[in-house]
Amino acid sequence: MTSDRTRGNKSSEVHGIFQKIAGYYDRMNFLMTLGRHEKWCREVAARVAPAGGGRFLDLATGTGVIALAVARRNPGATVTGVDFSEEMLRRARTKPGADAVRWQHGDAADLPFEDESFDGITEGYLLRNVEDLDRVLREQHRVLKPGGRLVILETCPPSGLVKPVVKWGLRVIVPLLGQVVARDRRSYTYLESSTRAFESPQSIAGALSGLGFTDIGWRKKFFATNVILWATKAN
């Protein structure tokens, strides 16, 4: 759940939030998704490429759940997990299997990689926290090889018949969990508000199409509060 997060007021604020919540991050993701989060991360890993070798980049790696899932699924691959939160990366490095991933501090808006470096890119909860979404997506397009897959796990603004109930749950339950579990209501109030204000999957798909991605699709999860999107860089 990370971002460009090293430039500007928003990035400084978000960086501080993720530094603070790193110790509770996995537990809160489990509670907020009723245990579904790791399953979604495994789906992201499965969608980015069939099992085998290759070079993969996991952005906003956080505590490394997606990166580790990619590494387990592709034991012959090179997996790099990038995040702007030093504390998140410190915790990722302590997890079982962490030696299979190259952990790197970095800025999603200015990736330290050559053009067409990766066979696949994954990310979890990155885009809603960045200051310049188009720039971040352009960077991903730049470092992805032609024919490579991009798979995104994101929150989704509530819609449809359940919208009033979901909005109430986000507004009340998420900050309350933050208060009880992490002793940090303010950080989870920000995460709740950024979920409600974020772009729709249709909007993200339009931005990906405009950059030259093809085969774009998505699947909503958990009362449409989360979404997995995928796209392929045109050859």
Per-residue model confidence (pLDDT) at position 178: 81
Structural domains of the chain sorted by starting position, each given as residue range(s) with its CATH number in brackets: 8-22+36-153+198-233 (3.40.50.150)
- Residue 108 annotated as lining a ligand binding site: yes
pLDDT in tens, 197-230: 678 999 999 999 999 999 999 999 998 889 999 9
83 among annotated binding-site residues: yes
Residue 5 has pLDDT above 60, yes or no: no
Which has the minimum average pLDDT: 8-12, 44-48, 123-127?
8-12
pLDDT band at 196 (very low <50, low <70, confident <90, very high): low
Residues sharing a CB contact under 8 Å with residue 230, sequence separation 6 or more, in sequence order = 47, 48, 149, 150, 151, 152, 215, 216, 217, 218
Q: Is 225 part of any known ligand binding site?
A: no
Give 57-102 pLDDT, tens digit per residue: 999 999 999 999 999 999 999 999 999 999 999 999 999 999 999 9
Calculate the average pLDDT of the chain. 90
More confident call, 175 vs 83: 83
Does residue 184 have a known ligand-binding role?
A: no
* φ/ψ of residue 232, rounded to 5: -120, 135
pTM to 2 decimals?
A: 0.90
Q: Which pair of tokens denotes residue 221?
A: 């999860």
pLDDT, residue 4, reads 37
